[in-house]
Amino acid sequence: MPHSSDLVAEPVPISLVAGRYLLYDIDVVTYLRRTHNICGVLIGGIPQAPQQNVFQGLPLELLPEEAKLLVDQNIGYVVDDAAWHENHYTTLHGKDRQNYLESLRAQGLKASQALNAVARQKQEKALARQAIVRATKSADSEREEIGGASPSKDTDKMTPTEAENPSSRPISPAPSDVSKFSSRAWDASKPLAMTPSTSYNSSSLPRNPNPPPVPIAPASYPLFAHLHARKYFMMPGLRFGCNYNVYPGDPLRFHSHFLATSYGWNEEIAMLDLVGGGRLGTGVKKGFLIGGEDVESEGEGDLVRTFVLEWAGM
């Protein structure tokens, strides 16, 4: 069975929102990470836990370097999200508008049916527990009438604490509670009001506009492209004061091997930066990688050279 990310067609749309390059489709996010070593950073909140920021969700924000790399290699293209949204939905009339509203209603109806199924399961469990309680009470009453007055099976199974303190025994739902729960059963015929995370399907975005906007990348882009061409994964390096944390494989499986910082080819590098970077990298079991593009070279292709520093004690 093919994975959902295998069905993604290139080039993929990259939404430009307030100067940020965002991906809203989980299939696209998975595809780029698995196939093209593009990680990005999740910046969205999780609906089930909105008051924490340890675990984030969609959308995924791409670095300008990642967005430019995807555009340069014709893997993705940039769409001005606000302009496209305004142009598309101000002209949405007639059948198109009806289809859009119908799709929202279908999603709401599906969610309503799912809630109704959960409610029915809870109701059936409550009724089953109530039936057991009634059967136990009926059996005890029959024994008392006969004169045996023998304890029920439930009493035999009680712990000494429960036998001495009846308040510690598990309480079964009363018939009134079951009827009250039954009255609150979800009406599956009424669709829920839906607020989708995106107002459009990614397949409805314009396909590779001509000419596509090219993201403006920082001066460290040549180093990023150089490392990416060698199958490295990269994440933002703010934690260690560098441009990128460089991983030999997926960051979920590997620790980073290098702290990468880009310099101009003729830029003077302070000795304090070299010593500090080397000591920091070695202290966290990484190498301090510096690199830059030889802009004076007359050659073609990849003109980036890299060096790795490690701190060694005397």
pLDDT score at 168 = 46
**CA Rg value for the chain:** 31
CA 239 to CA 126: how far, in whole Å? 52
Record: fold of 1-91+206-217: MutS, DNA mismatch repair protein, domain I (3.40.1170)
Question: Tell me, what amino acid is at 103?
Answer: S
Q: pTM of this prediction?
A: 0.71
Q: What mean pLDDT value characterizes the chain? A: 83
Domain boundaries, the chain: 1-91+206-217, 96-183, 218-314
* In contact, 260 and 291? CB cutoff 8 Å: yes
* In contact, 104 and 196? CB cutoff 8 Å: yes
CATH architecture of 218-314: 3-Layer(aba) Sandwich (3.40)
What count of other Cβ atoms lies within 10 Å of the Cβ of residue 241? Answer: 12
Confidence of residue 275 (pLDDT cuts 50, 70, 90): very high
Instruction: Name the residue among 19, 102, 96, 101 with its Cα closest to residue 61.
Output: 19
Tell me 220's DSSP state: T
CA 119 to CA 186: how far, in whole Å? 7
Residue 197, SS3 per DSSP: coil
pLDDT score at 184 = 54
pLDDT score at 209 = 61
Tens of pLDDT, residues 16-53: 999 999 999 999 999 999 999 999 999 998 888 888 88
* In contact, 42 and 104? CB cutoff 8 Å: no
CA 27 to CA 13: how far, in whole Å? 12
Once rounded to an integer, what is the mean pLDDT over residues 159-168?
Answer: 48
Catalytic residue numbers? 247, 255, 286
CA 307 to CA 233: how far, in whole Å? 18
CA 128 to CA 126: how far, in whole Å? 5
